[in-house]
Structure 1
Amino acid sequence: MKKILICASLLSCFVSCKAQKIPEDIVAKGAELTLVSEEFKFTEGPAMAKNGDVYFTDQPNNRIVKWDCRNNTVSDYMKPAGRSNGLYIDNEGAILAAADEKNELWKINLNKEVTVLLDDFENKLFNGPNDLWLDAKGGIYFTDPFYKRPWWNHEEPEQTARRVYYLKKGAAEPQVVIDDNYEQPNGIIGTPDGKKLYVSDNGAKKTYVYNIDAAGKVTNKKLFADMGSDGMTVDNKGNVYLTGDGVTVFNADGEQIKHIPVPENWTANVTFGGPKQNILFITAMDSVYTIMMNVQGVRW
């Protein structure tokens, strides 16, 4: 009888463990966090190009920097850069930038020529576009919190709320897709199938997930994680990477599966890079770091 009870207990544990979908480690075996460079003032907005290089911002120094993934070197790409914060790269290789020197949304083509996509909403300045995500249709979702910048002349926001907007491809005006009394909407990322949108309210220390409909509108708001995030990314397994105290990884069900410590007071943002999209690229304070992964990014 005792043996039967033990076997039943082991079987129950086995079934329970399987039901929890315990993942294999998403970090490559033996991989360590590697410092790439610490020559900056505050790094943000990493975005991967098709060849695996990563572009990121050093906003206080008003520059966009390029990480060459093959040589593991960094170099200035554009300076001045409109005090750009969050970046994303479109399918043509142009850089989309939340350029908050003048509260604008930019497109920087391959010749480094700037087109201002948006500079206001309803004849009022944006609060300060912060982070953005491009969907498969070419539409841009972006967050618009209010963080008072020393280079601004105004002290108070002109917009009445801190929202998330969506600019359809070819449209002249954006539409408001989230107007939920967010304290500080910040990090944003969508799934490659265009069905889910993750948005952080970094002020309230919450991250939410929404459904995206065919028109680009978001519905069915749900709490995803009980923490905020400055920036975020997703991998090919559907895991979501949030930043702040290092990098915290959640599966698609909102269960924490990993924490990657980063030896800085604040981790601002994260993306995948490298020719195989299996290098996690992390911006944190005055530094940028990389670590090899067993999973991949999902952009290209």
Structure 2
Amino acid sequence: MRNLFVITIFFFSLVGNTQAQIVDKKNLIEKNAELKKIEGGFSFTEGPAVSRLGDVYFTDQPNNRIMKWSFFTGKTEVFMENAGRSNGMFFDKEGNLIACADMDNQIWSIDEEGNKTILIESYQGKKLNGPNDLFITPTGEMYITDPLYVRDYWTRSLESQQNGEHLYFLSSNRLQFIRVDEKLERPNGIIGTPDGKTLYVADAGAKKIFKYDIIEDGYLSNKEVYLERGSDGMTIDFRGNLYLTGEDGVKVYNKKAEEVAHIPVPEKWTSNVTFAGPDRKTLFITATEGVYQIRMKVYGTH
């Protein structure tokens, strides 16, 4: 039967000679596609964000820089040094790169020349824990996760100034900055549907992924557990399949929270994932020391 169709692709791990297996139960991956390493030698890659042209900007956080990968040339280059130890990133509708710059626990807007504007630097006069990841809706509203991962480069007090690790909302006019969920243990990865109606948040502390309805003025309702597992960064395709990362490559779950694909990655950790290229059919994966790509049949929405 078609719904039991499984494509299995073999490739040799770049670490040792162990054989890994790509499992694709719903025909999401292009036929005969292979996972390809784009470049290695980084300290820890994170925060891939796709531009309008399909290029990907990602962070090499320990080296405090933002890199740019060109889809057309296949080459990477440094886009920005002294990048505020940026972590998660996302492009807004004006083409600015919005970054979780946790050196000073801020949210930055970076233009195409690399000039930064600080959008958020505190909540009610107190520093955030360390913004980790964000999602921007089609109408420009922003959702931001703020876990506390103590950094060895902080010179301030390592104690949290907030009363917990929360999920925040920033309005499109940048005037309203509020908490929208104060009952998470350690919010981390975040992504929303392209219609701006549904939000997914990975709670690394609870090892759960929560699903919300986005309602008027950015508030959230109908919170429910989507999946009993955690994730680092996440993305979504046009079918509504969710792509999760962590210690076992990239795993894909459908709207019913059923696992439908698994893409092993020869690194200790996969941190984040996005869809790249003008057609948004190249899955771009950030991992511990390298970045990878694989061609898909489905396309992404961000």
Q: Normalization by structure 2: what TM-score?
A: 0.90
1:20-31, aligned counterparts within 5 Å? 24-31=26-33
Residue identity opposite 1:83 in structure 2:
R
Q: C-alpha offsets along residues 51-102 of structure 1, whole Å, 9 cap, x if unaligned?
A: 1000000110000000000111110000010110000011121100000000
Q: Tell me what 1:167 maps to.
A: 170
Query: In structure 1, how many angstroms separate the alpha carbons of the residues matched to 2:171 and 2:143?
Result: 9
The alignment partner of 1:215 has SS state of helix
- Residues 1:15 and 1:84: Cα distance change in structure 2 (over 3 Å): closer
Q: Tell me what 1:209 maps to.
A: 211
Q: Tell me what 1:185 maps to.
A: 187
Q: Tell me what 1:69 maps to.
A: 71
The alignment partner of 1:222 has SS state of strand
- Residue-pair matches, total: 282
- Residues 1:17 and 1:285: Cα distance change in structure 2 (over 3 Å): closer
Q: State the identity %.
A: 47
Kept in 2, the 8 Å contact 1:121–1:173? The answer is no
1:150-299, aligned counterparts within 5 Å? 150-153=152-155, 154-180=157-183, 182-244=184-246, 245-299=248-302
Q: 1:56 aligns with which of 58, 75, 86?
A: 58
Q: Give the 4+ runs in structure 1 shifted more than 2 A.
A: 14-18
Residue identity opposite 2:40 in structure 1:
E
* Unmatched runs of 5 consecutive residues or more in structure 2: 6-23
Q: C-alpha offsets along residues 148-198 of structure 1, whole Å, 9 cap, x if unaligned?
A: 001112221110010010100113341111111x22100000001111000
- Residues 1:220 and 1:237: Cα distance change in structure 2 (over 3 Å): same
Q: Normalization by structure 1: what TM-score?
A: 0.91
RMSD: 1.7
Q: 1:106 aligns with which of 93, 97, 108?
A: 108
Kept in 1, the 8 Å contact 2:190–2:200? The answer is yes
Query: In structure 2, how many angstroms separate the alpha carbons of the residues matched to 1:254 and 1:38?
Result: 32
Higher Rg: 1
- Residues 1:151 and 1:223: Cα distance change in structure 2 (over 3 Å): same
The alignment partner of 1:268 has SS state of strand
Q: Tell me what 2:17 maps to.
A: none
* Unmatched runs of 5 consecutive residues or more in structure 1: 1-13
Deviation at 1:213, TM superposition (A): 0.4
Residue identity opposite 2:192 in structure 1:
G
Worse overlay, 123-132 or 165-174: 165-174
